[in-house]
Structure 1
């Protein structure tokens, strides 16, 4: 499953409830520093997924404003 929810990935994951156990893999984007008000960060999402039996397989570091255009 791929999730791109502009800072609300944690909310989307929690919304699955027990159905999250039916998911084989998840690809999502998260941040180490907050870009959105009220956003859950990497550690929150990592701990939540770990507690639901998921294993971190890959990390790709990008810069938060890499594609920002003024």
Structure 2
């Protein structure tokens, strides 16, 4: 069976910006649906640290 990708509930089909995540062999995979061959691979711990930083506003300067 292939990789089972899960789309973010914040993604919109109309704009084509769908963020998807999956897990394979205890590795977290992240991709954008409009570029499915470009996949970021990371660990649970690194993804958790990134998400905590994003929630804390550490990366806000990149989107403002």
TM-score class, shorter: under 0.3
- Alignment TM-score, normalising by the size of structure 2: 0.24
- Alignment TM-score, normalising by the size of structure 1: 0.23
Higher strand content, 1 or 2 = 2
Higher helix content, 1 or 2 = 1
Larger RCO (alpha carbons 8 Å, 6+ apart):
1
